Amino acid sequence: MSEFKQTLNSSLGKKLIMALTGLFLCTFLIVHVGGNLLLFNNDNGFSFNVYANFLTHFPPIEVIAYLLYLSILVHALYGLILTVKNRKARPVRYAVAAKSDASWSSKNMGLLGSIMFLFIVIHMGDFWFRYHNDKTMGFKEYRTDLATGETKVSDYTPANAEFSHSVSTENNVEVVRVKDLHARVAYSFSNIIYVIFYVIAMGAVAFHLLHGFQSAFRTLGWVHRKYTPVVYFIGTWLFAVIIPLLFAAMPVYYYYLSTQGAH
């Protein structure tokens, strides 16, 4: 065991931890963006609320969720430790700033990471924490006629405080009662400051992953003349363009809806 400790404490070991947690968080982003695309389903939050409920109540996912929170913390903590160590490696700075050929994002991973960390704290406080702890959060009841597929929605007030959700079928009508996270989303994203902050944070995600995704592969030692270009392609287009754009589109879309008075 002490050998593992020694390995992880070495400079390369710390980088390994950064790379592994980073890549894990990248895979999470794919799942997260995929699920959240349900926000674009114009169904009064039915699918989104069901999805949110599923994520919070399916035990294996819950385990992964806690791994995820741990990853975020470890990634941030090790980022901090490495930054401090790296600063110490050059106690006297240069008078003329380095003009070497290195990308802007690669030189500012710490700054980008800090923005993201701040974002995650706010984001989780607003949605995750409220979802789990806010007793005032409302519920919705979705009644779907199984014959026609038509869904009707109405507010629902649970009989006891312990209620989380229920699915039942009455007379060919499926009744789903879940917590209404969707309303919270719509509410938050009607605030322009909030929307701008989200968009900036997604910019940070884009630049962080532009360097971070391929860098993780380098750290793990997975470079190959044939496959490294593929990694660069995925890192650039999927993680630095498509995913951040989709995420950023959500608050913008909901802000747009709020100005149209659709709700």
Length of the chain: 263
Q: How far is the CB of 89 from another protein (least distance, A)?
A: 3
Total residues in contact with another protein, by rule CB under 8 A? 41
92 interacts with another protein by CB under 8 A: yes
Beta-bridged to residue 153, according to DSSP, are 142
Task: State the burial class of residue 215 (Cβ atoms within 10 Å of its Cβ: 0-12, 13-18, 19+).
Answer: buried
Q: Which is nearer to another protein, 67 or 102 (CB)?
A: 102
227 binds another protein (CB under 8 A): no
Kindly state the smallest distance separating residue 109's Cβ from another protein, in Å: 6
Span 43-82, contacts to another protein by CB under 8 A: 82
Alpha helices in the chain (DSSP H): 2-9, 11-36, 46-57, 59-88, 104-107, 109-123, 130-133, 181-188, 192-220, 228-233, 243-260
- 92-98 contacts, C-beta under 8 A, 24 or more apart: none
Specify the stretch interacting with another protein by CB under 8 A; choose among 54-62, 67-75, 95-103, 187-195: 95-103
Minimum distance between the CB of residue 16 and another protein, rounded to whole angstroms? 6
Closest CA to 36 of 256, 254, 258: 254
Kindly state whether residue 11 participates in binding another protein, applying the rule CB under 8 A: yes
**From CA 134, how far away is CA 113, in angstroms rounded?**
28
Q: What is the x/- site pattern for another protein, positions 194-223, by CB under 8 A?
A: -----------------x--xx-xxxxxxx
* One residue of 1, 42, 66, 95 binding another protein per CB under 8 A: 95
Is residue 133 within the footprint of another protein (CB under 8 A)? no
Q: How far apart are CA 211 and CA 173, in angstroms?
A: 50
Residue list 157-186, contact with another protein (CB under 8 A): none
